Structures are given as C-alpha cells and as structure tokens.
Amino acid sequence: MNTRFLVESAQSGAETDATRFRLKGMLGATEYASIEALFSRLAREVTAERLAGFRRGDGGSVTREAFSFLGGVGALGVGVPADRGGHGHGLTGSLAVTTLLAACDEGGLVLGANVQSEVACSWLLRAEADICETHLPRLVSGQSIACQCDTDPSADEPTLAEVDGDEIVVTGIKHYVVNGDQADLCFVAARMGPSPAIILIDKSRPGVSVEKVWDKLGTRSIDSASIRFDAVRVPKSHLLSRHGLRQMIVWNEVMSRLRLSIAAAATIIHGCVLDGIMAHASARRLGGRPLAAWPVNHHALSQAAADEQLMIAGVAGAVRRLGRSPDVVSRVAQLKWFCVERACDLARLACDLEGGRGYMAESRSLGAYKTLRGMRMAGGSQTTMLTIANHTLANQAETEPHTRPAAVEMEIA
C-alpha cells in the first residue's frame, strides 16, 4: 500500500484525492475513467461543509432540503437508466456518490441516499409504467423522499396485506426505518397470503403514522423512525413485487445494491480512519519512538492496511458481478460482512491509539465507530450476512462433491 501517499493526503487535507484514489481501485481504471468527470463535478458540490448546513440543531438529522440539494446537483438516481428518468451512470456512478458522502463523514446520508436511489428506484423500475413515471422523477430530483419498511417487531407480528376489491389493505408496524420520519413514499414489505410482497404506500394516506423517531448513537445525519400502517388502503397497482417463493431472492437482489454501497462506504471510512490514525501515531512519540513504531501497533496498522486492499479488491469484484452473476447475493453479503467488520475493528483500535482524545466527542475515529456500528445492522445484520453466505457454502458443499472427484481424476490423469 502507498502509505506515504495516504498519510500525506490526510496531513494536507487532500481527502478528495485519497477518496478518488480509492474509488479508482474499487471501480478499476476503465470504469473510473467513464465517471471521472461526474466524480470531479460532484466533489465540488457535495462537501462536508455544504452537507453540515442541512443538519438540524447540534448534529441532528438533515432537513428535506438536503434531498432537494442532492437531487439538484444530480447526486440522486445516478445509476437509474437515463431513458427511465435517471442520470444513466450505472452502479459505478452511484458508488461515486456513496464514496463522496462517506468521505464527508455522512454515514447517515449514505444510507438515506442509497435507500432513495438504489432501493426505492429499483422497486419503481419493476412497477407498472404509470406508477414509475409518476414517482421516479420526483425521487431523482429530491422533491420526494423514500423509505424502505422491512423490519417487523418480531417474526410473529408481520405486516399483513389483503386484497379487498380493487384495493390492498395493509396493517402492521415497521421499526428503525431510515428516512422514515421525512419520507413521502414507503416501500413496505408485507405478507400477502402465503407469499411476501412489496407494496408502495404514500405516507399521506389515512392510517399511516410515524409512531416514534429514534435517537441514535451514529448515522445521525439521517432520521430513523417506526411507522404504523393501520388498515391503510392503496390501489392494487401499488403492489410492486410479488413472486411467490422467488420474492425473497428478488428482495435480496435489490438489497444487494444497498449492501454493496454500505461495503464501499465502510471501505472509504476505513481508509479515512487509517489516514488519520497513521498521521497521529506517526507524529505522537511515546517511550522514545513514534506510537506507530511500537511492534504491537505496527502489526495492527499493517493488518488494517492489508485489510483495506482486500476491501477494495472485494468491492471491485462485486461491482463486476452485480446484475450478471447468480451468486452475487452471497458474494455481496460476504463482502458487506468483511468490510463492515474490519472497518469497525480499525475504528475501535484507532480510538484506543488516540488515548483520551479517542473518547472525546470530537474524535473522528469515535465518530466513524458510531457510524459503523449502525452499518452492522443496516441492510441486514452481520449475522444475517453470515447466514446467507453459510447457506450458499452449504449448498455448494452438498452439490459440488459429485463433480469434484471427476475433475481431480482428470487432472491426475
């Protein structure tokens, strides 16, 4: 790893250059070249100072204006095809926005903007044409805000949807919903008869209420709310996705876009924390040598640097697979697990290496740790990521032995 470059970047405050360097690694030179102009333009607009101006009070969640700002500069719906109302820069363009937000310490907005651009827009692209044409442009411009309502209070209390004539009636409650307080549109996971489904519900419909807005440890730039749906009626055309047994696969494919964004964001946060702690531990002398030069710290920091390279390579591999490979859900789950796990470990180490300062509210490492704690659950928990990977590996173990001996024999022959 070019450690000197990273330390110098951190010291000179040239964070965009370090972010550009990492984004290039995650996308590959050719893909990066195709969105370089977009990245440079957005880097001038989407700055930490600008985004901080949208926060409520002292470090609260952003106002609606943050979304109209992001929409106005073309940072929402970046990956949505241009002929469907988006900006047509594909997944690579979308990851450019994610890396910029992550580098601005806006882990909350990483979640909020990706729920809007990746999750909600993906569902709308699958909807009937008039539903898509009505709502998608407003999400891309930031006039409307979307939320994804998945988390039931428990497995025994699912949100239920029933057909009643030309309408669907939805009843249930969803917890910890990012954008939930401000959202105009809810994309609600509900059980419809025997199978799961996604239903679009305008928040202004009778029966929808925000039950609670949560205070949080990190990801504070975005609101998280519990939303109640009390016999809410929507037209049948608002049923966006229902594929019987395949529905969970479709849902996981959509969620993989969010999980990949989280993995990319965790990679950028990891890099920023590493830059900062390398600068600190190189400058701070203890016991006659720099803190970073003590073997125990040197070893841990070297491992974190190696982790960063693995994270970048993992994102690069997943970017090439998304939408093209049947095992992408499992691959992205493994990647999200790895990136968030390693970044979390580094942020905790960095807090320790900062000594007392690492416990003070100003500590950037502590801020990163709080954000990464949220990313352990957002998009599906770390345990769930392992479970998805485990199922795939178990399936391979069940099916591959039938082919492997033959292949081995052929090699031996």
Ligand X SMILES: Cc1cc2nc3c(=O)[nH]c(=O)nc-3n(C[C@H](O)[C@H](O)[C@H](O)COP(=O)(O)OP(=O)(O)OC[C@H]3O[C@@H](n4cnc5c(N)ncnc54)[C@H](O)[C@@H]3O)c2cc1C
Residues that bind ligand X (CB under 6 A): 111, 115, 148-151, 174, 176-178, 219, 224, 374, 377-378, 380-381, 383-384
- Residue 379 CB, shortest distance to ligand X, in Å, is 7
- Residue 386 CB, shortest distance to ligand X, in Å, is 8
Closest CB to ligand X: residue number? 383
Name which of 9 and 116 has its Cβ closer to ligand X: 116
Contacts of 156 (CB under 8 A, 6+ apart): none
- Residue 156 CB, shortest distance to ligand X, in Å, is 12
Query: Rounded to an integer, what distance in angstroms lies between the CA atom of residue 145 and that of residue 138?
Result: 8
Tokens, residue 57: 């009070």
Name which of 25 and 380 has its Cβ closer to ligand X: 380
Name which of 214 and 359 has its Cβ closer to ligand X: 214
- Residue 334 CB, shortest distance to ligand X, in Å, is 15
Single-letter amino acid, residue 19: T
CB 197 within 8 A of CB 31: no
User: From start to end of 309-352, where are the E strands?
Assistant: none
**161: which strand partners?**
170, 192
Name which of 177 and 346 has its Cβ closer to ligand X: 177
Query: Rounded to an integer, what distance in angstroms lies between the CA atom of residue 286 and that of residue 281?
Result: 9
Name which of 312 and 347 has its Cβ closer to ligand X: 347
Give the DSSP H or E segment for 228.
strand 224-235
Its sign, for the CA torsion 374, 387, 262, 72, is negative
- Residue 155 CB, shortest distance to ligand X, in Å, is 8
Backbone angles phi and psi of 168, in degrees to 5: -115, 135
- Residue 219 CB, shortest distance to ligand X, in Å, is 5
Name which of 15 and 118 has its Cβ closer to ligand X: 118
- Residue 272 CB, shortest distance to ligand X, in Å, is 19
Name which of 68 and 384 has its Cβ closer to ligand X: 384
Query: Torsion angle, CA of 101/105/108/114, rounded to 10 degrees?
Result: 20
Contacts of 176 (CB under 8 A, 6+ apart): 151, 214, 224, 225, 226, 377
